[in-house]
Amino acid sequence: MNNADIPENNSANPEPAAENVAAGNDRRPLKSEFDDDLDYPRLGSVGFRRGTLTENQEATWEANWPRLGRELSDEFIDVPAWFGREGSRTILEIGSGTGTSTAAMAPVEAGNNVIAVEIYRPGLAKLLGAVVRNDIENVRMVRGDGVEVLNRMFPEASLDGVRIFFPDPWPKARHHKRRIIQSGTLNLIASRLKPGGVLHVATDHAEYAEWISELVNVEPKLEYMGWPWEDCPQLTDRQVITKFEGRGLDLDHTITEFLWRRTSD
Ligand SMILES: C[S@@+](CC[C@H](N)C(=O)[O-])C[C@H]1O[C@@H](n2cnc3c(N)ncnc32)[C@H](O)[C@@H]1O
């Protein structure tokens, strides 16, 4: 992903999105309403560059997206039917970008169903290409805002894991409310995880790491396990250094990782 392609998360004047991608074509409201006082950031109202697909990517999309991908909707996903198998663990990755770590991790955890959620179609197209080229059978994709996808497409206690790797740091103070790690998101993730399920977050942004550190105990249904957690039931090694991670390392940033376990209440 080059700079011309990435979402304009540092824009001083974010425009309302010309097209409400996360709403799909059916005019459903973009934003779910939550009846608590927690913070649920959504990206649908933030302008971002859409980028274009190459001819090859368009052809791959047309041939494979109907089987391997879906758009945000109000229908719960029937995961066993979509993956064609029963009894596998299901992990949701929010903000998979170009899917570099998704595609690298999937073969190492072939027994798990991995669902990558991204709003950025060229990123999904790259992951789709890798999945098709490498015959990766345990990855599916959803195009939409992660909070909306969690809330509208997954019932409570349906996921074994949630991953958020190198979320956009939104460094300007007035944009901090857009950060995906917030009290509401943590509450929603906790509700979608099964008891014992794992949330894994990684960031290379020191100030975002501090922000997350202040929230590690905010959600009572997520027990903070720190890092590393030796007996973590979920693969935590990303297998590759993604562009974002690499960029952070080049700048001599350190990577901070966070793991939580859903309580068994
Ligand atoms: C900094 S990139 C990191 C991508 C990838 N995880 C990596 O490590 O290379 C953050 C990604 O999250 C996506 N994103 C941000 N907020 C999102 C949201 N609410 N729902 C889905 N995707 C989101 C952005 O489009 C972007 O591709």
DSSP per-residue string spanning 87-141: S--EEEEE--TT-HHHHHHGGGGTTSEEEEEES-HHHHHHHHHHHHHTT--SEEE
Nearest Cα residue to 144 out of 47, 42, 254, 241: 42
Residue type, 93: E
Nearest Cα residue to 92 out of 154, 5, 27, 174: 154
Half-sphere exposure of 164 (CA within 13 A, CB side): 24
Q: What distance lies between CA 20 and its chain's CA centroid? A: 18
Helix (H, G, I), strand (E, B) or coil at 245: helix
- pLDDT mean over 36-57: 75
Is residue 250 marked as binding?
no
pLDDT at 6: 39
Of 15 and 82, more confident: 82
Q: Do residues 186 and 262 lie in contact, with contact meaning Cβ atoms separated by under 8 Å?
A: no
Is residue 177 marked as binding?
no
Neighbours of 123 (CB within 10 A): 25
- Strand 139-143 relative to strand 159-165: parallel, antiparallel, unpaired? unpaired
Give percent above pLDDT 90 in the chain: 74
Closest atom of ligand 1 to 120 CA is 25
Spatial distance between the Cα atoms of 140 and 158, rounded to a whole number of angstroms: 16
Spatial distance between the Cα atoms of 21 and 68, rounded to a whole number of angstroms: 18
Q: Which residue puts its alpha carbon closest to atom 24 of ligand 1?
A: 95
Write out the two tokens for 219.
Answer: 């959600």
At 178, is the pLDDT very low, low, confident or very high (cuts 50, 70, 90)?
Answer: very high
- Of 5, 78, 168, 250, catalytic: 168
| Confidence (pTM) | 0.87
Instruction: Say whether pLDDT at 13 is over 80.
Output: no
Instruction: Say whether pLDDT at 164 is over 60.
Output: yes
Domains along the sequence of the chain with CATH: 21-262 (3.40.50.150)
Task: Give the chain's mean pLDDT.
Answer: 86
Instruction: Say whether pLDDT at 211 is over 70.
Output: yes
Instruction: Say whether pLDDT at 21 is over 50.
Output: no
In b/e form, how buried is each residue of 149-187, taking b as 16+ CB within 10 angstroms?
Answer: bbbbbbeeebbbbbbbbbbbbbeeeebbebbbbbebbbb
139 CA → ligand 1 middle, Å:
17
Sort residue 162 into left (φ over 0), alpha (ψ -120 to 50) or beta.
beta
Neighbours of 252 (CB within 10 A): 6
Please write the tens of the pLDDT for every residue from 124-143: 999 999 999 999 999 999 99
Please write the tens of the pLDDT for every residue from 222-249: 999 999 999 999 999 999 877 666 665 6
Catalytic annotation on 168? yes
Closest atom of ligand 1 to 41 CA is 19
Please write the tens of the pLDDT for every residue from 246-255: 665 666 668 9
Residues 6+ apart with CB under 8 A from 224: 216, 217, 258, 259, 260
pLDDT at 16: 32
Instruction: Say whether pLDDT at 26 is over 50.
Output: no
pLDDT at 147: 94
